[in-house]
Each structure stands twice: as C-alpha cells, then as structure tokens.
Amino acid sequence: MTAKRTQFVSSRSGSTWTRGQNMTAFTSRRQYGPIFSVIAIFSLIAIFAVVYLFQVTKTNSFSYALQEVENQKAILSAEREDLRNENARLQSAQNVNSTSTAQSMTSPTSIEYAE
C-alpha cells in the first residue's frame, strides 16, 4: 500500500490538529472492473450451488437408508404377527387337550371303516 499525503483544511481559523484525526489517506492501486465483478459473482453462485447439491445428495442418501430400514421393519412386523398367530394356534390345541371334557373322553377300542 502506498501512502498519499493530503492536507486537510479546517473550517475554523487557527485550529490545530487534534488527536484521532487522519492526516494520511491510503489509496489502493488495484481497481477491479465490471467484468471481474460479474465473474466473481457467478463463481460464488456456482460454489454455493455445488455445496447445496452435495447437501441435497447427502440428505437423499439418508432418506434411502431410512426407507430400507422402514421396509425391514414392516417385514419383521408381519413375521412377528405370523408367529403370534401360530403360537396362539398351537397353544389352543394344547388347551383343548388339557380341558376336563377332553380328559373325560375315552379312546376307541375298535375302529371300523365303511366301504
């Protein structure tokens, strides 16, 4: 940076410089044109678009994993229901055999078939 000295003129006569006043103005040698500004803006937009797309893709991959887990949960729930029904069926056969009515029945002595 280069320093460019400028002389400030006070509106009051006889006043002196006080503490905190700038006596030196700094100017930059670089000046960017409108084409650079347009390119910089488009570059920033492109960078933000790429970051956004990465985030959306990550979210979609989590959604696929979640869908897979939900499908597995549905399959396991159906299997659990089937096992409950089979358990109830098997227990009902044991309950029928253990009732007093079933225990008072006798087995047949001879079995004849009709022809």
State pLDDT tens for residues 10-51: 555 555 666 777 667 677 777 888 899 999 999 999 999 999
State pLDDT tens for residues 58-78: 877 788 888 889 999 999 999
Strand ranges (E), 24-107: 24-27
Q: Which residues contact 102 (CB under 8 A, 6 or more apart)?
A: 96
Q: How many CA atoms lie within 13 A of 96 on its CB side?
A: 6
DSSP classification of residue 29:
S
pTM here? 0.39
Angle (CA) 104 108 112, round 5°: 155
State pLDDT tens for residues 78-115: 999 999 998 888 887 777 777 777 778 888 888 888 87
Distance CA 82, CA 59 (A): 35
How many helices and strands (H and E) does the chain possess? 2, 2
Find out whether 30 and 53 touch, Cβ atoms under 8 Å: no
